Structure 1
Amino acid sequence: MHITLKATGNNAGMISHLLAKNPYNTYDRTEKGARVRMVYTVFTEEEAEIVIQASPDSIDLVKNSPDSYDITQYINDREFVTSSLFCTYIRGTLGTALNGKPKEDYIAWVTHPFALELSFGPVASDLPDAVVEGLFAPLGYQVTIERGEADYSFQLKNRSTVRYVTLSGHQTVQYALRQLLLLIPVLDNYKHYYISEEEFDKLRRYGEGWLSAHPLRELIIRRTLHFTNLIEQFEQSDSAATRTKKHAIQEQKHNHEQDQQQEQSLEEGTQQPTVRLNELRYQAIMDVIRKLPRRQKIVDFGSGEGKLSARLARMKGIEEIWAVEPSAYAQVRAVERFAKLERHADAIRPTPMMGSLFYYDEQLRGKDVMILCEVIEHVDEHRLNRVMNTIVTEYQPGMLIVTTPNREYNEVYRMDQQELRHGDHRFEWSRSEFRERCEQWIEEAPYSLALEGIGEEVEGFGQPTQMAVFTRRKEPKNS
């Protein structure tokens, strides 16, 4: 993980005084458990290039983690990508430049715009290239985005989230570094620490002079603060915020990603209960199952932490629930949740099962109901037809219930046209695209199809979630 800062033109060498780092010495320190190095690869009065690199300890990154039982904690990109972690490591190194407080003889250069080139990476971002460019171009930068060389038999490289970004333009060193330290975490969209009101000060200090007029201000604030209540508090306390922004913040309450984070906070007792989209999905699925004459045997595919399975466990008429999930971490959370059901005399205990849509399991064949709640969008689109064929021809459930995001509704959330609601989504379909695919899946299978929406409906955009209910018809006996 690194940043390269290059200045050219008359007096380019003055940036060494703004950084307060001697160009003839190598800066090598340990910051928050990571080794941070700064070196001048070029230094003259007309050109100066500085590379800032951070190397965290991969073991230290997961030490004392609650996921110590799960080997996948060691398989992550935090050691390599330029992220909020990286910004934390280098913040102390750049303190003089960020605060604009060099030695008195050089104060005048703090407000001097240099011809700068800033490059950083690799950065893993779920934002499309157009949005990445939209974050930096309004600040006066020419943006270049590159991906690493790779030889694939299909267009995986073009869809890779990992990119290297280069910015070119005239800017003061202080503003350039503040913009990077605020926007790099926006790109990565992952915070390694607890998000609280302390982030307000960072937004104000690093965003001073440019954030209030930025066309993607709402996106920057949303991906910095994440939680709706924090976003609202920031807007209310920020004297520069306008009243017209508040309606957009209210709409963001329905954002899929925020909904998941709010749900976690609710479990920890930090939020007041509200009717969330995730809860509406569960309720819609349960309403469908409750009306079935046969609902004894249920398969919850991609059950995650077992939230839906735990709700179904208390429904009358259900005798067994298979909670199928490939993630060991999610399975452990599900087991803990299922154990709590013992206090309810009317509840059965779901059976957690390690499994995947890509591997057929005879045990799951012929059940009354199979559920894929917010699952298919996490599957590569070119593999999905095979998965669905296995379900309708091999598993043959009496009913199949599938929910997935409605891409048209993303515009209600003020999302970019190419932006997806979650970093792991491989696709999101419009209502017509979803209907077309559903009809294809059962073209030669004995199933009928019913489609409906879940969540608040907006004219022209539908509802945030779409649900397909496939009901197996009785096949006529051969004469």
Structure 2
Amino acid sequence: MLLTLTSTSTADCPDATALSYLLHKHPERVQVFDLAVGTATVLYPEASVTQTTIAVMVDVDPIDLVQSRSRRGNDSFALGQYVNDRPYAASSILAVALSKLFGTALSGACKSHPELVGTDLALTVSIPVVPCGGDPGLPRRLFEPLGWDVRTTAVELDPELPQWGDADYVSLTLSGELTVQQALRHLYVLLPVLDDVKHYWVGADEADKLVRVAGQWLPSHPESSLIMSRYLARQRELVESVVDRLIPDVAQQPGKVSRPEPSPARLRVDTVVDTLRQLPVRRVVDIGCGEGKLLEALMPHAQFDRLLGVEVSSRELVRAQRRLKLTELSDVQRERVSLLQSSATYRDTRLKGFDAVVLMEVIEHIDVPRLPALVRSVFTDASPQTVIVTTPNADYNVLYPGLAEGEFRHPDHRFEFTRKQFAAWTDMTATDRSYAVTVEFIGTVDPDLGGPTQMAIFTKEART
């Protein structure tokens, strides 16, 4: 994996070679450092007064990676430890390398030129391969609030076969005027967040490190909840310990919220889980389960003794298998949680006999003429006691400044219901299929426009 950091001369810092002093690496030397799973090479492709670039190349030893269970990450599918992107894609391995190579710069020390430590430099960071989990907008949401100009380019799955589409990676370029310490700290925290894998043990010391390295900017970051959760490997107690330590600092700042708000996706999952827990439901099907976020949230609750994730995309099923760590579950747990490739618009007898079916952010991805087929397969063929459907509220879209009039929230959406349209569809579906229905909002409710997400809860009516 490769990372380059470039400094360009400015009026405040006319000598771009200041970068070499701050990083404590001599421009005329090529240096090689041992890492736990390979080596890191540091060199300067260019070093002049006008522009200086340092390159970091990390060579991962696949044998070391396989032999070190704690460092190979959570690629839990059958051959994950042997077939993975670790030698090529930026990850927590690169973050650890940056810490080892530039630890003094990360701490904000420079004995030879202390005046440079707090000086903003014109910096450009380039990383050719960055994982983004199929969400190419994530790098922008993570780095832009920190003052970076973010440019991403999709990485083709195979340039020789363009019909295969793009891979779950982007080529990332960051540019901005920041201190070197800020740049390194941003990369150190956010590279593992983008990859969503930690290649070392995550314990209380990692929570301490997150507070120390990101405490100044994390509380007010709009994706703070996501960052804390992923950086700390979704360990709730560690996340809460970080929140508790950062909240006092936030509360003293005018205009700051007292606690980071959960992301809309997290709020949807939590709301659906809470709704299911209040119902007499034990067997749940998540149709369109994606990478398995809802199933992951349901698994800790003993109330649910049968969980099935249904997804049409084989790629998403692989992600779900990794997230849920199905290969690491006991035989009993594997009987409780399973995945199935199928479509929401086709009859499938394997979906019968469940108490509840969830369609979370699914219907808007289906062409409108196919909706009756979905209704038939779910409400008539599967015929569960409860159906929960969530979908965007199109009326709320005007509150998103980056969304043009008439534009959908996601390029794969085939439509987005207004409140009136959703009410009409749910009422018609409930009447035709002998269900009762209630509609609620998820998220902050605007008095005129409603909430960002609409949720319908269908309950089968008793026959008389």
TM-score (norm 2): 0.66
Conservation of the 8 A alpha-carbon contact between 2:35 and 2:97: yes
Unaligned runs of 5+ in 1: 261-275, 290-297, 314-320, 340-349, 419-424, 475-479
SS of the equivalent of 1:35 reads strand
Is 2:340 aligned against 1:355?
A: yes
Query: Partner of 2:326 in structure 1?
Result: 330
Aligned 1:291-440 pairs, distance under 5 A: 300=285, 307=299, 311=303, 329-330=325-326, 333=329, 335-337=331-333, 355-358=340-343, 364=350, 367=352, 369=354, 371-373=356-358, 377=361, 381-382=365-366, 389=373, 392=376, 396-399=381-384, 401-405=386-390, 407=392, 432=419, 435=422
SS of the equivalent of 1:185 reads helix
Aligned 1:65-104 pairs, distance under 5 A: 70-72=78-80, 74-102=82-110, 104=111
Cα–Cα, structure 1 residues 371 and 55, in superposed 2: closer, same or farther, change >3 Å? farther
Query: Partner of 1:14 in structure 2?
Result: 18
Deviation, 1:281, is 3.5
Which AA in structure 1 matches 2:124? E
| 1:83-122 deviation digits (Å, cap 9, x = unpaired) | 33320233101113223444x4333333343332222242
Distance, in Å, in 2 between the alignment partners of 1:46 and 1:241 is: 40
Query: Partner of 2:455 in structure 1?
Result: 466
Query: Partner of 2:213 in structure 1?
Result: 206
Distance, in Å, in 2 between the alignment partners of 1:59 and 1:400 is: 51
> Number of residues paired by the alignment?
415
2:249 to 237, 240, 250: 240
Distance, in Å, in 2 between the alignment partners of 1:256 and 1:126 is: 15
Distance, in Å, in 1 between the alignment partners of 2:421 and 2:175 is: 42
Deviation, 1:463, is 9.7
Is 2:433 aligned against 1:447?
A: yes
Distance, in Å, in 2 between the alignment partners of 1:2 and 1:380 is: 39
| 1:443-463 deviation digits (Å, cap 9, x = unpaired) | 9x9634543357988654559
Conservation of the 8 A alpha-carbon contact between 2:267 and 2:442: no
SS of the equivalent of 1:122 reads strand
Query: Partner of 2:175 in structure 1?
Result: 168
Distance, in Å, in 1 between the alignment partners of 2:424 and 2:219 is: 43
Deviation, 1:277, is 4.3
Is 2:53 aligned against 1:49?
A: yes
Is 2:2 aligned against 1:2?
A: yes
Conservation of the 8 A alpha-carbon contact between 1:457 and 1:464: yes
Query: Partner of 2:406 in structure 1?
Result: none
Unaligned runs of 5+ in 2: 290-294, 311-316, 404-410
SS of the equivalent of 2:117 reads helix
Cα–Cα, structure 1 residues 405 and 257, in superposed 2: closer, same or farther, change >3 Å? same
Conservation of the 8 A alpha-carbon contact between 1:227 and 1:258: no
Distance, in Å, in 1 between the alignment partners of 2:36 and 2:400 is: 35
Conservation of the 8 A alpha-carbon contact between 1:39 and 1:50: yes
1:34 to 33, 38, 53: 38
Deviation, 1:42, is 1.3
Conservation of the 8 A alpha-carbon contact between 1:26 and 1:37: yes
Which AA in structure 1 matches 2:376? V
1:122 to 129, 146, 153: 129
Distance, in Å, in 1 between the alignment partners of 2:256 and 2:238 is: 14
Which AA in structure 1 matches 2:53? E
Deviation, 1:2, is 2.5
Which AA in structure 1 matches 2:94? F
Which AA in structure 2 matches 1:333? L
171-180 or 217-226: bigger deviation = 217-226
Deviation, 1:285, is 5.1
173-182 or 185-194: bigger deviation = 185-194
TM-score (norm 1): 0.64
Aligned 1:185-264 pairs, distance under 5 A: 185-193=192-200, 195-207=202-214, 220=227, 224=231, 230-238=238-246, 240-242=249-251, 247-249=258-260, 252=262, 257=266
SS of the equivalent of 2:42 reads strand
- Give the alignment's Cα RMSD to 1 decimal: 5.3
Conservation of the 8 A alpha-carbon contact between 2:3 and 2:57: yes
Which AA in structure 2 matches 1:392? R
Percent of aligned pairs with the same residue? 22
